[in-house]
Structure 1
Amino acid sequence: MNVKPMNLLFTSSGRRGYLLDYFRSALDGRGEIHAANSDQRASSFLHADKSVVTPLIYDENYIPFLLEYSVANRIKAIIPLFDIDLPILASAKTRFAEVGTTIVVSSPAVAMICNDKLKTDSFLRSNGFNTPASFTSLADTLDALARNLIEFPLVVKPRWGMGSIGVNMAENEGELIVFYEKVRREVQRSYLKYESNVDLEHSVLIQQVLKGHEYGLDVVNDLDGNYVTTFVKKKLAMRAGETDAAITIDSDQLKSLGKKLAGALGHIGNLDVDIFVADDNVSILELNNRFGGGYPFSHLAGADIPQAILAWIRGEQPAPEWLHVRHGVTGTKDLVIRCLSD
């Protein structure tokens, strides 16, 4: 088969060097890997053929910069790796398509449902999914506690958050009040302030702590938003809000949930889903419409979504073996130190 070369650009590539390696393997020498990040110390740059330091995501020059770079380097597809990037790039898909570049990102509406945890809560409830009780008002939370609708412990975290930034566990009312104000301050001191400024008074989310064991799903749709498959992993360890160790499992219940979720959301590409299971009760905690920290465990077990994405971009169907995992594969992450300069 004569496959045309395809240059790929990964935005906000950060420390996701392994994802660039997955796509490099999928390209099989037919194209270049480009990494873009606002911090020149991004370790992913060491995994790329070419790298570039960009303006900040919310800078007015961010999209024009990426457009110019894409044209100059014949970029066929852009794959964003950071939540904040998603709505910005989603809103610019047409502009990039006009220069021949496909952005592998869902619609702005889907991006906002996933990034805004209050919208996530509303979407899940309206589509019949279980999700923890959530509040953005301290007064409403205290009222719910007084009426025994919820109980401690409660998680206090940014409404537009990611990873473990600003996540606190309140065991009593005193801690709840302190953590609520603490998270508000932390949001304003971090890059979370950009999205949070949309509704600063309601930028803190308070949630009932879920009981049970935590699972992660990779729910995969094609580039037209059609459901393809779901991979299920039981989380064995967490670090900084990300899966650190996991085992792939076979669960008809959770795969069916993934299919239902994919149909309701209509996302593009990979949807990283956090789930808690207690007995037969399944609750969804978060949705991330990108390659999440749990995908490497699916890849380790035989999945190859990078290959599938490249096939879809070419207008082809992916090989069936790319869309399946071996069950019972246990993986753990390692720490590697990279030299940036000498």
Structure 2
Amino acid sequence: MREEKEVFGVMMRIIISSAGRRVYLVTWFRQALVEAGIEGDVYVLDHDRRAPAAAAADGFRQLPPYTSGEYADQLLRTVDELRPTLFISLNDCELTALSQGLSTRLRERGVVVPCLEGASHRAVADKLRMSRALTRIGVPTPRTALLSDTEAVHALLETTPAVILKDRWGSGSSGLLRRTSEQLRRWLATDSATRSDLGGSPDDELVVQPDVVGTEYGIDIVTPVRGGPVAGVLARRKLSMRNGETAAAVSVDSSPFAGLAAMLADGLGIQGTADVDLMLADHGAASVVDINPRFGGGYPFSHVAGADVPHFLVASTLGLDPHPRWNTYRLGHLGAKHEGIIGFESSPDGSAMGASHQEGAASWTARAVQTT
């Protein structure tokens, strides 16, 4: 494992928490440091010591699950040990914990933590709250009702031939089901004690929305890590999905989404990057269907087309001017995700170690992703 290095008297250490399978992000942040001439390293935190991203990092620390009462204290001890400059989380549940005061405790230690604050995070984590919050700030979004609110659901069914049901606090399209309005009417008319359940969730944990007919897009809204005006918008048209994540996409011009991005950044106080899912209806109106205040599964398609958000976030953290073309990319560039494998160095007891000796594997992953 490499020794600590310094830039401008300060160690530029990046922690990517809950990195899971996102080997490419670890690789791209490591490349951003090297290409900017900044000394530093990238550590991964995860509850799974075999998380693939751990093998691509300079170092790894295991954390308890978010549901554990030991999670927050262990995270703070780990941060005190590693003394990172930048802390990035890739998990919705962890971002919830950060928004409830944990990010403040990290910032008190001098760590930059781009994430939404409490009210804004609750507004995007809860699909019902999100619909109401976006409507208040004038952002188009599908009308939303709790499945348990039968009066509101019946009123919605009068306006659309088909609906989508999904988990109120879901992530990665969890609980998503499509039904015709007539199918849902019949389901609601059956006796609650005998009717079959939808997705296994209680009625007050499922929301109902119109099934918007149109084309699905994903955009990344990028702001400085401490918040501020939009610095860049990246956009792609989704071609296919797999397990709730974009599997193939083509890069498109982001200028039609610039106004929407500015409204969301200002209304929510976005810090760093946020992944937004949109439906562009056949008549041309864009409607926000989901917001993830983190790197989402669509960002790699913009990166392989030429964008470089890790570079921007590193520069923003240190107060440096980013490369002027970090938010430009080739239009019409088709990308598709693929399977890959990465090897671990192992200690004698079989536990995973960081990847200070995994340069070859990390570089191979970067090449494979970028040439797909």
Q: Normalised by the size of structure 2, how large is the TM-score?
A: 0.81
2:71 pairs with 1:62: yes
**Alignment partner of 1:184 out of 201, 205, 217:** 201
Shift in alpha-carbon separation, 1:101–1:179, aligned structure 2, 3 A: farther
In structure 1, distance between residues paired with 2:124 and 2:298: 16
In structure 2, distance between residues paired with 1:318 and 1:251: 20
**Alignment root-mean-square deviation, CA:** 2.3
Preserved contact between residue 11 and residue 85 of structure 2 (Cα < 8 Å): no
Correspondence list, 1:151-162, <5 A: 151-152=161-162, 154-162=163-171
Correspondence list, 1:46-125, <5 A: 46-90=55-99, 91-125=101-135
Preserved contact between residue 37 and residue 54 of structure 1 (Cα < 8 Å): yes
Letter in structure 1 aligned against 2:140: N
2:246 pairs with 1:235: no
3-state DSSP of counterpart to 1:216: strand
3-state DSSP of counterpart to 1:297: helix
3-state DSSP of counterpart to 2:290: strand
**Cα offset, 1:253, TM superposition:** 2.1
**CA displacement 1:43-95 (0-9 Å, x = unmatched):** 11111121122111132221211111112122222100011111212322221
**Cα offset, 1:11, TM superposition:** 1.2
**Alignment partner of 2:25 out of 9, 15, 19:** 19
2:173 pairs with 1:164: yes
Preserved contact between residue 156 and residue 210 of structure 2 (Cα < 8 Å): no
**Alignment partner of 1:149 out of 114, 139, 159:** 159
Which has the larger displacement, 176-185 or 302-311? 176-185
Shift in alpha-carbon separation, 1:181–1:332, aligned structure 2, 3 A: closer
**Alignment partner of 1:140 out of 119, 128, 151:** 151
Greater Rg by CA: 2
Preserved contact between residue 156 and residue 183 of structure 1 (Cα < 8 Å): no
In structure 2, distance between residues paired with 1:34 and 1:145: 47
Preserved contact between residue 116 and residue 268 of structure 2 (Cα < 8 Å): no
Preserved contact between residue 7 and residue 39 of structure 2 (Cα < 8 Å): no
Preserved contact between residue 242 and residue 294 of structure 1 (Cα < 8 Å): yes
In structure 1, distance between residues paired with 2:338 and 2:213: 28
Letter in structure 2 aligned against 1:143: H
In structure 2, distance between residues paired with 1:136 and 1:119: 11
Alignment match, 1:203: 205
**Cα offset, 1:149, TM superposition:** 2.7
Preserved contact between residue 113 and residue 225 of structure 2 (Cα < 8 Å): no
Correspondence list, 1:276-291, <5 A: 276-278=279-281, 279-291=283-295
Shift in alpha-carbon separation, 1:179–1:275, aligned structure 2, 3 A: farther
Alignment match, 2:370: none
Preserved contact between residue 218 and residue 277 of structure 2 (Cα < 8 Å): yes
Unaligned runs of 5+ in 2: 1-5, 351-372
**Alignment partner of 1:10 out of 4, 7, 16:** 16
Shift in alpha-carbon separation, 1:280–1:16, aligned structure 2, 3 A: same
**Alignment partner of 1:269 out of 268, 272, 275:** 272
Alignment match, 1:40: 49
Which has the larger displacement, 202-211 or 27-36? 27-36
Preserved contact between residue 231 and residue 255 of structure 1 (Cα < 8 Å): no
Letter in structure 2 aligned against 1:23: F
**Cα offset, 1:335, TM superposition:** 1.0
**Cα offset, 1:141, TM superposition:** 5.0
Letter in structure 2 aligned against 1:13: A
Alignment match, 2:329: 325
**Cα offset, 1:339, TM superposition:** 5.0
Preserved contact between residue 229 and residue 259 of structure 1 (Cα < 8 Å): no
Which has the larger displacement, 160-169 or 269-278? 160-169
3-state DSSP of counterpart to 1:92: helix
**Cα offset, 1:183, TM superposition:** 3.5
Alignment match, 1:219: 221
Q: Percent identity?
A: 33
Shift in alpha-carbon separation, 1:276–1:6, aligned structure 2, 3 A: same
